[in-house]
Amino acid sequence: MKKHLLFLILLCYQFTIFSQEDAWVYIKDKQNVTASIANPISILTQKAIDRKSAHNVIIDERDVPVNENYISQLKGATGITVMAKSKWFNAVHVRGSETDINNLSATFSFIDYIDFANKSLNTLKLTQQKNKSKLETVFTTFIYGNAANQIEMIKGNELHLADYTGTGMTVAVIDAGFPNVNTMSSFQRLREAGNILGDYDFVNRDTDVYTNTTSSHGTWVLSTMAGYIEGGYVGTAPDASYYLFVTEDASSENPVEESYWVEAAERADSLGVNVINTSLGYTTYDNANYSYTTADMDGNTAFITKGANIAFEKGMLLVNSAGNSGNKSWGIVGAPADAAGVFSIGAVQANGTYAVFSSKGNSTQPTQKPDVVAQGEASFVIGTNDVMGTLNGTSFSSPIMAGGITCLWQALPNKTNAEIMQLVRESASQYNSPDYFLGYGIPNLQTALNTALSTTNRDDESQDLQLFPNPTKGIVHFSFPLDQDELSVIIFNIFGKQILESTITIENNQIDLSSFSKGIYIVNVQSENISKTIKLIKH
């Protein structure tokens, strides 16, 4: 009798859940658009304005928030729960019965159209929708310890040696919970530097991302970028600043999580974030009516994919795990990694060979997917108890790469998001023969930096003094700032002893270090109005 009763309870519970539908309500207009764009500080932070200006990203109507009066009216509608909002789409994600949601159009004249997550319920013009699969599987001066292989594989350690460790860059980690990040010793260095700039839980609508959670996924992900254990572990961008956003509801699979993600991306944009890492993907849902097909992974169907493409347009660089369906029936990269504007990361083993779980690309996607790969099998992460261990998943190859890319962009601040992505692709191991397993292959971030520096246009007034390649096996070149024609170069060994002094000019801008022993050197470059010290590695 008890078993029958339990079955009936579960049946009723399931019926109640599925009688509630999810939908996007698209709004016709916005409030004070012209005035807001003319005075962007009223809708964006100064950092966001500066980043957009630096990369010629236009501030437009999409940056203006959704009309809060409209949202309030929707909240007051019979049977309707407002779950999320998106200024980029001028849309509100609602939940309610099919009847109550359809009644909204008759009630409110500001509604343009309604798009049900269950496409069979749509009677108007619309798009297509939603799914997801969890992207984890089982559980320099820096001494990288256990993290050495995963950063050295992509040459992120070489960037660190040149003092590109993420300083001045801002990363948003959009994920599940971040338990104990506020207390763990592994993140003490991050906290003491003031580099956790803010956090928000879009699922529970509060700022508790550390305890109000059922998932440790975000903590593991963050550790690969920002974790630090003296002599034992260093993340790929240890000195970047971070925003921690929760959009994943670990208790269920529902397309509202796509809307939460878009909200988080919009907030990241308004805060001036440079790089977003997302180790989540969307393919199928608890309610099969909401689920996507593999044909929907076409780079412009899923709500989250369309949002990611807008985020790219806004100047941010989005790094996303490709997915863990490579050896499952689904098989291919999911949303939003299918977006052309997203840099999707597959997984390899520690020796650089394909990890069988890593989702593959296919001809449905508008661009090569995955873009590149990093170590995602037996990746070292730090658990919520400050203990290191290994986990499998593109959930970890993605942030490992995101941290490295953050350091690369620090070194090349005048490049756009698209230019950085292309530099990384071109540096990868199989750039000339990409495939659906490894994409363009394993990147060499040091090569990407050297390539950029070697082609820098001297007419760029913002150009900084740089030397390349670094590391070098012999010849090192110097890029000159616009107002300099001659520079004095003094090189010291690691003990402070001067071992070379030379004058270089625009016509003769190189020094041959072939006779130098392997090691680290300090290069001091001076002129009347320049004095810069650079670490140089000789191989």
Q: Is the pLDDT of residue 7 over 90?
A: no
Residue 137 scores a pLDDT above 60: no
pLDDT of residue 141: 67
Name 496's Cβ contacts closer than 8 Å, sequence gap at least 6.
522
Confidence of residue 337 (pLDDT cuts 50, 70, 90): very high
> Which residues have a Cβ under 8 Å from the Cβ of 290 and sit 6 or more positions away?
22, 117, 118, 129, 130, 131, 254, 255
457 pLDDT band, cuts 50/70/90, is low
Name the H helices within 227-364: 256-270, 303-313
Which CATH superfamily groups domain 132-453? Answer: Peptidase S8/S53 domain (3.40.50.200)
Model pLDDT for residues 385-413, shown as the tens digit of each residue: 999 999 999 999 999 999 999 999 999 99
Alpha helices (H) in 79-200, listed in sequence order: 98-107, 148-152, 156-161, 188-192
Are 79 and 96 in contact, with CB atoms under 8 Å apart?
yes
Q: What is the pTM of this model?
A: 0.82
Q: What is the pLDDT of residues 43-69, one digit of tens each?
A: 999 999 999 999 888 898 999 999 999
- Report d(CA 102, CA 105) in Å as an integer: 6
- The partner residues of 171 in beta bridges, in order of sequence, read 242, 275
Asked if the model's pLDDT at residue 159 lies above 50, the reply is yes
List, for residues 168-196, the tens digit of each pLDDT value: 999 999 999 999 999 999 999 999 999 99
- Is 213's pLDDT higher than 80? no
Average confidence (pLDDT) over 432-439: 97
CA–CA separation, 210 and 437 (whole Å): 35
Query: What string of H, E and C letters represents the secondary structure of 365-413?
Result: CCCCCCCEEEECCCEEEECCCCCEEEECCHHHHHHHHHHHHHHHHHHCC
Locate the domains of the chain by residue range: 19-121, 132-453, 458-538
Of 341, 250, 358, 357, the closest CA to residue 304 belongs to 341
Does the 458-538 domain belong in CATH 2.60.40.3080? yes
- Of 231, 445, 196, the closest CA to residue 319 belongs to 445
Give dist(CA 24, CA 86) in Å, integer. Answer: 10
Positions annotated as catalytic residues are: 175, 217, 395
Q: What is the mean pLDDT of the chain?
A: 89
pLDDT band at 6 (very low <50, low <70, confident <90, very high): very low
Contact assessment for residue 259 and residue 376, using Cβ atoms and an 8 Å cutoff: no
